[in-house]
Structure 1
Amino acid sequence: MKELKTNPRAVLAGIRNAFGLPALLLFSAMTGFGSFAQEQGLSLYMSMLSTILIWGLPGQVVHVELYGMGAPLIAVVLGVAGANARFMPMTLSMMPVFDDSPHNRRWNYLLAQMISINTWTEMLDRGPEIRADRRMAYFLGFSFTCMTAGIIGVLQG
């Protein structure tokens, strides 16, 4: 993977590697979530927005369940945060992959939002073999492809 000479090539490599099993799994899981959310009365717009903003199926299920019960907003927020707390150790363990990357550290907040089990395992596996200045581009290509597959799955459901 060190042959990624430009950021556009790194993005394309991330997209290419996300197609296949990672995108298919997310599409399938999010199709189920889309059906569940629709059954609970959540609009398509809200279902897709929750996919982008929460980006963790356990948290999204908690969101839909509590929303469907008419729970107060603070209960929904705390429930989603609790269900997605597993992303904190994943995020912390992945930060060394981006330590020697020359990108602005503020981008780490966007990168953290894009972490899923698929992107986490991909970057821990392939991240060290990608040039440091291409890792963020690769990660974003991979992550956006996975998220797009998830959003299409919600739309399908």
Structure 2
Amino acid sequence: MNAALIGIASGLIVIVGIALFKQLDKKIIYGLVLTAIGFLYVGYTWTDITAISINVVQAIFFLFLAYFGIKKNMYFIVAGYFLHGLWDLAYHLFADPGLIPPHYDMFCLSIDFTMGIYLWIIQYRSHFAVIDSPVQR
């Protein structure tokens, strides 16, 4: 429970921290964060060839989701955060969970979902702001 609360709080701190830098391209920043969290597992599992192989593949997958989110549609990044949260939850099915820090699954799941929900709300609201715009009518 503490890991989840710390994850939610950390997600909110990251969101507020990114929002403070108004000049930065938020899409690129959130894409970079998604890429980085995918590669954290690579750093944790470098001592086990099977685990690192699995984690390199997942890290590259999230790298491409971030890329397509930056270049095509932000919803790729939103999906990436939710999928990474599910990866955190299911990690023990694919590799030795002893290689990652204790309670990392719940911490990372909660931070990923916090950021994913925030980004989904922002995208959803901006979509309807464009539809309701007087210029569009």
* TM-score bracket, shorter-length normalisation: 0.3 to 0.5
Which structure has the higher relative contact order (CA within 8 Å, separation 6+)?
1
Greater helix percent: which structure? Answer: 2
TM-score, normalised by the number of residues in structure 1? 0.34
TM-score, normalised by the number of residues in structure 2? 0.37
